[in-house]
């Protein structure tokens, strides 16, 4: 396999609005990121993905862009961005921007122009339809309601797969594609390492528009239905790669849900459209067409199976990107560990099991200190369009306001968007002002400053984990070695080998709050990492403590 510069890197996602506020306005900013670069370097991460910081009305917290060439003043200036790129480079780190090109903002000049003259050239930048003919399809927007809304001041409708403030760009129009490629190249010229690519699977629509079987009583159907019928996305993605990323050897990771069974090679194979794509197998587990209130909770066994299934699908094809959380998900430790069992030791086990899977390891801000879901005192404290929609869906289904709040609290995107807990001072040291979203009340117990002083903290464990993955004797095994699940049938145990010609490494976690015995195929060799003080073993038998996690040679 041809080796690429990004194969052995450790990735870290920054959600700028909640990372670190340098000017006291309650919103994280670029200067705040610059101030924390040494912290990130010391942690051991190499590549930083910034969620959007472009000019935006922030209706969807920046995933609604009104100027692709400008930084939103709330995050800073273009000079700040240039400084960030340069400062990262000085430290041997790379920056990825978020590429949001399925849609723009309804405040983008293209959309303004389309409203003024829907039959003019900018009308064709979007999907428009004549109002008199009714809605061209019965698809439900990802944030609720129909994907079709009236184009203000005209006799047309426009399409938005996401919020009504996020009109979809018409990728069938070569002018749109050219504009997008121009912008990507402009950013790459600035020295970016690449992009995380938002919602990209949605750019191809099955045309002409049509209805599908409704899946709720609103008569609409999930957008995921249309994705099953869309053919030919590869032409757009191949062209985008040729015209942009390939010229710069840029790294790209796609936010790709719902690919068809046999498409993985096209997406992330050696000549794939992207370098990598996220493994969302665990994320989508238990989803219900009815919405969040009806999701099935994931167990440790389910988690294990989801990870191994995804690994099997990608084996011999390419690199998945592994996460336990991101800005769209609840905190991984709150989701994948049973309620009430969020001890530092259990958090380390979950982090370790995920981090050493084959693929690219991504850490989401705050994960490295074990940040947890927050408590929503009422729906009024929520600042996320998706949670607000799902709350309404739950009410419409007959849940009481208390039940609906409880149901959405488990999955709300705001869980991961609370400010990073830097220290025990007011507002967790995130801001000297009032944070845009309340700080999690557990910040006095869980914060960076305290964990930096503590050899046994979750943060110290993540540092060791990263150092192990980069250790010259084992790096190639973790990066290129095979992943072979083992003891798969043993309940509450997740274990796998990472194996190449040099090493066989066993990664093993006792995924429960009780001790457990496991008899290995070979006696353990050197213990490379242990989240407990000791290891009790007798020959090939290990006596694992609750949530014990180990990496060893074998
Ligand atoms: C996926 C992003 O991660 C999410 O935050 C956003 O709401 C949608 N795409 C729409 O851009």
For 203-221, the pLDDT digits (tens) are: 999 999 999 999 999 999 9
Best residue among 13, 53, 60 to mutate for probing ligand 1, ranked by most atoms within 8 Å of CB: 60
> Rounded mean pLDDT of 471-475?
98
Q: What is the pLDDT of residue 207?
A: 97
Conformational region of residue 44, where left means phi above 0, alpha means psi within -120 to 50, and beta covers everything else: left
For the CA of 413, the nearest atom of ligand 1: 5
Q: What is the pLDDT of residue 358?
A: 98
Q: What is the pLDDT of residue 322?
A: 98
Q: How confident is the model at residue 332 (pLDDT cuts 50, 70, 90)?
A: very high
Prior bond of 554 cis (ω within 30°): no
The residue whose C-alpha atom lies closest to atom 6 belonging to ligand 1 is 63
Percent of the chain with pLDDT over 70: 100
For the CA of 100, the nearest atom of ligand 1: 11
**What is d(CA 13, CA 23) in angstroms, rounded to the nearest whole number?**
22
Q: How confident is the model at residue 309 (pLDDT cuts 50, 70, 90)?
A: very high
Residue 231: CB atoms within 10 A of its CB come to: 9
CB 45 within 8 A of CB 61: no
User: Tokens in use for 227?
Assistant: 């994705």
CB 355 within 8 A of CB 465: yes
Q: CA angle, corner 114, sides to 113 and 119, nearest 5?
A: 120
| Ligand 1 center–CA 158 separation, angstroms | 19
Q: What is the pLDDT of residue 398?
A: 97
> Rounded mean pLDDT of 96-110?
98
| Ligand 1 center–CA 507 separation, angstroms | 33
**What is d(CA 511, CA 547) in angstroms, rounded to the nearest whole number?**
5
Task: Specify the DSSP class assigned to residue 282.
Answer: T
For the CA of 386, the nearest atom of ligand 1: 7
CB 508 within 8 A of CB 550: yes
Q: What is the pLDDT of residue 412?
A: 98
| Ligand 1 center–CA 152 separation, angstroms | 24
CB 498 within 8 A of CB 343: no
The three-state secondary structure class of 157 is strand
Is the pLDDT score of 261 beyond 80?
Answer: no
**What is d(CA 116, CA 155) in angstroms, rounded to the nearest whole number?**
12
> Rounded mean pLDDT of 536-554?
97
The β-bridge relationship of strands 11-14 and 47-50 is parallel
Is the pLDDT score of 260 beyond 90?
Answer: no
Q: What stretch of H or E contains 226?
A: helix 223-229
CB 225 within 8 A of CB 216: no
> Rounded mean pLDDT of 537-548?
97
Q: Give the chain's end-to-end CA distance (angstroms, integer).
A: 26
Q: Which residues contact 150 (CB under 8 A, 6 or more apart)?
A: 131, 156, 157, 158
Could you give the C-alpha distances from 505 to 318, 496, 522, in angstroms and in order? 21, 8, 11
**What is d(CA 382, CA 366) in angstroms, rounded to the nearest whole number?**
19
Is the pLDDT score of 89 beyond 80?
Answer: yes
What are the helix and strand counts (H, E) for the chain?
18, 23
User: Tokens in use for 468?
Assistant: 């192990």
**What is d(CA 435, CA 429) in angstroms, rounded to the nearest whole number?**
10
According to DSSP, the residues that pair with 195 across neighbouring strands are 97, 252
Dmax of the chain from CA atoms? 78
Q: What is the pLDDT of residue 497?
A: 98
Look at residues 54, 53, 45, 51 and name the one whose alpha carbon lies nearest to residue 94.
45
Look at residues 226, 224, 233 and name the one whose alpha carbon lies nearest to residue 272.
233
Percent of the chain with pLDDT over 90: 99
Active site residues: 198, 255
> How is 289-343 classified by DSSP, letter by letter?
TT-GGGPPPPPHHHHHHHHHHHHHHHTTT-EEEE-S--TTS--HHHHHS-TT---
**What is d(CA 331, CA 344) in angstroms, rounded to the nearest whole number?**
14
Q: What is the pLDDT of residue 265?
A: 96
User: Tokens in use for 331?
Assistant: 């905190």
> HSE of 348 in the Cβ direction (CA atoms, 13 Å)?
24
**What is d(CA 340, CA 354) in angstroms, rounded to the nearest whole number?**
21
Q: What is the CA radius of gyration of the chain?
A: 23
Task: Specify the DSSP class assigned to residue 250.
Answer: -
Residues with CB under 6 A from ligand 1: 60, 63, 100, 162, 198-199, 255, 327-328
The residue whose C-alpha atom lies closest to atom 4 belonging to ligand 1 is 328
Best residue among 68, 162, 411 to mutate for probing ligand 1, ranked by most atoms within 8 Å of CB: 162
| Ligand 1 center–CA 320 separation, angstroms | 19
| Ligand 1 center–CA 60 separation, angstroms | 7
> Rounded mean pLDDT of 78-103?
98
Please write the tens of the pLDDT for every residue from 501-537. Answer: 999 999 999 999 999 999 999 999 999 999 999 999 9
The three-state secondary structure class of 552 is strand
Mean pLDDT of the chain: 97
The β-bridge relationship of strands 536-538 and 11-14 is unpaired
Distance of CA 139 to the CA centre of its chain: 25
Please write the tens of the pLDDT for every residue from 148-206. Answer: 999 999 999 999 999 999 999 999 999 999 999 999 999 999 999 999 999 999 999 99
Q: What is the pLDDT of residue 258?
A: 84
Could you give the C-alpha distances from 65 to 32, 98, 109, 128, 413, in angstroms and in order? 22, 11, 10, 19, 19
Look at residues 261, 246, 239 and name the one whose alpha carbon lies nearest to residue 101.
239
**What is d(CA 157, CA 527) in angstroms, rounded to the nearest whole number?**
63
Task: Specify the DSSP class assigned to residue 244.
Answer: I
Q: What is the pLDDT of residue 353?
A: 98
């Amino acid at each position: 396999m041809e080796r690429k510069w990004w194969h052995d890197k450790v990735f870290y996602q920054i959600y700028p609005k909640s990372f670190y506020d340098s000017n006291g306005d309650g919103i994280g900013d670029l200067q705040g990121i610059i101030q924390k670069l040494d912290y990130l370097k010391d942690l051991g991460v190499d590549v930083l993905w910034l969620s959007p910081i472009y000019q935006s009305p922030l209706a969807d917290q920046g995933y609604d862009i009104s100027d692709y060439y400008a930084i939103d003043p709330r995050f800073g200036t273009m000079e700040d961005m240039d400084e960030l790129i340069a400062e990262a480079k000085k430290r041997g780190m790379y920056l990825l921007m978020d590429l949001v090109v399925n849609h723009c903002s309804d405040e983008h000049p293209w959309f303004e122009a389309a409203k003024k003259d829907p039959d003019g050239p900018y009308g064709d930048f979007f999907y428009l339809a004549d109002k008199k003919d009714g809605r061209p399809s019965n698809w439900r927007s990802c944030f609720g309601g129909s994907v079709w809304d009236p184009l203000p001041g005209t006799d047309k409708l426009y399409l938005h797969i996401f919020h009504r403030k996020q009109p979809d760009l018409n990728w069938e129009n070569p002018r749109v594609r050219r504009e997008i490629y121009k912008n990507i190249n402009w950013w790459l010229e600035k020295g970016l390492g690449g992009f995380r690519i938002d919602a990209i699977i949605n750019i191809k629509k099955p045309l002409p528009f049509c209805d599908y079987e409704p899946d709720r009583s609103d008569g609409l159907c999930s957008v995921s239905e249309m994705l099953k019928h869309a053919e030919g996305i590869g032409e757009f993605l191949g062209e985008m790669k040729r015209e942009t990323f390939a010229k710069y050897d840029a790294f790209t990771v796609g936010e790709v849900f719902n690919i068809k069974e046999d498409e993985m090679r096209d997406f992330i194979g050696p000549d794939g459209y992207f370098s990598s794509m996220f493994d969302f197998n665990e994320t989508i587990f238990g989803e219900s067409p009815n919405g969040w209130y009806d999701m099935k909770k994931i167990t440790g066994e389910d988690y294990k199976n989801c990870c191994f299934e995804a690994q099997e699908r990608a084996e011999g094809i390419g690199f998945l990107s592994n996460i336990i959380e991101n800005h769209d998900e609840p905190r991984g430790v709150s989701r994948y560990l049973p309620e009430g069992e969020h001890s530092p030791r259990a958090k380390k086990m979950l982090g370790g099991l995920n981090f050493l899977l084959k693929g690219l390891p991504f850490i989401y801000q705050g994960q490295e200190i074990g940040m947890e879901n927050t408590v929503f005192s009422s729906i009024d404290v929520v600042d996320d369009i998706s949670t607000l929609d799902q709350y309404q869906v739950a009410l419409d289904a007959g849940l009481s306001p208390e039940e609906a709040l409880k149901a959405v609290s488990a999955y709300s995107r705001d869980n991961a968007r609370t400010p990073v807990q830097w220290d025990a001072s007011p507002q967790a040291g995130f801001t000297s002002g009032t944070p845009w979203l309340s700080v999690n009340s557990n910040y006095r117990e869980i914060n960076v400053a305290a964990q930096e002083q503590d050899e046994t903290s979750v943060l110290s464990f993540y540092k060791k984990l990263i150092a192990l993955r980069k250790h010259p004797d084992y790096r190639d095994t973790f990066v290129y070695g095979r992943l072979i699940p083992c003891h798969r049938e043993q309940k509450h145990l997740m274990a796998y080998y990472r194996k190449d010609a040099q090493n066989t490494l066993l990664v093993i976690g006792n995924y429960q709050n009780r001790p457990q015995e496991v008899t290995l195929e070979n006696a353990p060799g050197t213990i490379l990492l242990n989240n407990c003080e000791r290891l009790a073993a007798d020959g090939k038998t290990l006596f694992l403590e609750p949530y014990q996690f180990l990496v060893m040679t074998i």
